[in-house]
Amino acid sequence: MQKEEIVNRLTPVFRKVFSDNSLVVTDELSALDVENWDSLSHMLLISEVETEFAIKFKLKDLNKMANVGDMIEIIRSKFQ
Amino acid sequence: MSEYLIRKAKPSDIPFLADVVIASEKAMSDRLSFTTLFNKPEEEVKQLIIQMFEEEVDGCELSLSSFIVTEFEGQPISGSGAWIEGFNGNMPSGILKSNLISYTFGKESIEYLKTKSHIVKDVMIDREPMTLQLEYFHIKNEHLGKGLDDLLMKRIEENALAEYPELKKVQCQIFKNSVFSIKILLRHGFRIVGSYKSDNDDIFDYLPFNVKLLMEKEF
């Protein structure tokens, strides 16, 4: 799966979870940048992303996701 | 006091630490957020907490490495969790804990949480990076009033300062109804620096109380 497709599918997920229709998904985006990205919304985000891509993250994958770029790479690896 | 042995937690303590987490989370109530927010029975929650400890993820309140245990006659009688937030490049503890829950509890529980998260969001408090965070402090009833809390607080602070001498303060998030724990913290030099209240009365069905306090002590 190409990065562009992943970003295009992640964008509505992020906008829905964080209730922000102007949110732009970039590699550098992290919990530090989004006001509503707390421990509760993080769980909802992971669940929504897993549903969107029909995947299940491993715990070690989750703990490597320091930003969205890391998440994209892990999603890509699931489809290789 | 010499009959008490205070030591770092080890894997064989994990079932006891699960009991510590459950007792501390209830905070003088019968509401356990792991059951009420994730729609799981307490027996299953205990097993899931054990699983989360067994993952040995460092840097949050469900990390084995965060805990010290007191032994009395060879049995664990207290457990206390504390970690330095974001130390050694760790992610925020809230994210680490969320990852553990997401991975362990399963999609159905997270779907259930989606319908309840709005009820508890007002009492969620961010943790300050590079501060010592105290979470889960439980002593079995028969060992209360023997000065063990003094020894534990001292040991927790000593351990943290040995690891990071530049440490400036220790913080604790605590529900306002935990009056005995608040008294202990005040006695140890903590002060209340923040109060977070939910006006949603449904919160009493999910959490021990509708007000959470942020307490801290500077070194």
Q: Please answer whether residues B194 and B44 qualify as being in contact, where contact means their C-beta atoms are separated by less than 8 angstroms.
A: no
pTM for the model stands at: 0.93
Query: A31-58, pLDDT tens digit by residue?
Result: 989 988 999 999 999 999 999 999 999 9
Chosen for mutation from A32, A36, A42, A43 (greatest number of chain B CBs closer than 10 Å) is: A43
Nearest by CB: A63 against B91, B110, B126 = B91
Three-class secondary structure assignment of chain B: CCCEEEEECCHHHHHHHHHHHHHHHHCCCCCCHHHHCCCCCHHHHHHHHHHHHHCCCCCCCCCHHHEEEEEECCEEEEEEEEEECCHHHCCCHHHHHHHHHHHHHCHHHHHHHHHHHHHHHHHCCCCCCCCEEEEEEEECHHHCCCCHHHHHHHHHHHHHHHHCCCCCEEEEEEECCCHHHHHHHHHCCCEEEEEEECCCHHHHHCCCCCEEEEEEEEC
State the virtual CA torsion across A10, A14, A20, A25 in degrees, nearest 10: -50
Segment B196-207 shows an average pLDDT of 96
Question: Considering only CB atoms, which residues of chain A are within 8 Å of chain B?
Answer: 31, 38-44, 46-47, 50-51, 57-59, 62-63, 66
Task: State how far residue B137 is from chain A, nearest Cα, in angstroms.
Answer: 21
Cβ <8 Å between A44 and B110: yes
Query: B39-58, pLDDT tens digit by residue?
Result: 999 999 999 999 999 999 99
Cβ <8 Å between A39 and B124: yes
What's residue B115's pLDDT? Answer: 95
Closest among A32, A56, A47, A26 to B94, alpha carbons compared: A32
CA of residue A60 relative to chain centroid, distance: 15
Task: State how far residue B92 is from chain A, nearest Cα, in angstroms.
Answer: 9
What CATH number is associated with residue B12? 3.40.630.30
> pLDDT band at residue B1, thresholds of 50, 70 and 90?
low
Domains of chain A with bracketed CATH: 3-78 (1.10.1200.10)
Cβ <8 Å between B94 and A50: no
Model ipTM? 0.91
State the virtual CA torsion across B116, B121, B123, B126 in degrees, nearest 10: 130
| Radius of gyration for the alpha carbons in chain A, expressed in angstroms and rounded | 11
Does B29 contact A at CB distance below 8 Å? no
Chain B residues with beta carbon closer than 8 angstroms to that of A41: 117
Q: Please answer whether residues B174 and B212 qualify as being in contact, where contact means their C-beta atoms are separated by less than 8 angstroms.
A: yes
**Count of structural domains, chain B:** 1
Cβ <8 Å between A63 and B99: yes
